[in-house]
Amino acid sequence: MKIAVFGLGYVGAVSCGCLSDLGHAIIGCDVSAAKVDLIKAGKPPIVEEGLPELLEKAISKGLLTATMSADEAVAGSEAALVCVGTPSTPSGGVNAVYLETVCRQIGEAVKKHAKGHYVVLSRSTSLPDIHRRLMRVLEESSGRRMGEGIGYCCHPEFLREGVSVYDFCNPPKIVFGPTDARTAAWCQGMYPKGKYEGLDGCPVFFLSPEEAAMVKYADNCFHALKCTFGNEIGMICKTLGVDSHKVMDVFCADTKLNISAKYLKPGFAFGGSCLPKDLRGILDAARDTATRLPMLSGTLESNEVQIKALMRRLVSEKRPKVGIIGLAFKEGTDDVRESPIVEVVQQLTGNGHAVRIYDEHLSVQALVGANRSFAFQMVPHLAELMTGDLGEVVSWAEVLVVSHRLKPATWAGVTFRPGQRVVDLMNIPELRKAGAGYEGLYW
Contact between 360 and 378 (Cβ < 8 Å): no
Tell me 416's DSSP state.
P
Contact between 191 and 78 (Cβ < 8 Å): no
Enumerate residues 6+ apart whose C-beta is below 8 A from 247.
233, 237
Torsion angle of the four alpha carbons 13, 18, 23, 29, in this order, in degrees rounded to the nearest 10: -10
Contact between 36 and 28 (Cβ < 8 Å): yes
- How far is the C-alpha of 343 from the C-alpha of 45, rounded, in Å? 58
Beta strands in 79-179 (DSSP E): 79-82, 118-122, 145-146, 149-154, 174-178
DSSP 282-298: HHHHHHHTT---HHHHH
Task: Give the angle 69-71-73 at the CA atoms, nearest 5°.
Answer: 70
- How far is the C-alpha of 137 from the C-alpha of 105, rounded, in Å? 10
Provide the annotated active-site residues: 274
- Closest by CA to 16, choosing from 47, 56, 49, is 56
Burial class (CB in 10 A: 0-12, 13-18, 19+), 104: middle
Tell me 359's DSSP state.
-
266: left (phi over 0), alpha (psi -120 to 50) or beta: beta
CB environment 305-314: b (16+ within 10 A), e (fewer): ebbeebeeeb
Sign of the torsion formed by the C-alpha atoms of 412, 413, 416 and 422? negative
- Closest by CA to 79, choosing from 27, 124, 127, is 27
Q: What type of residue sits at position 298?
A: G
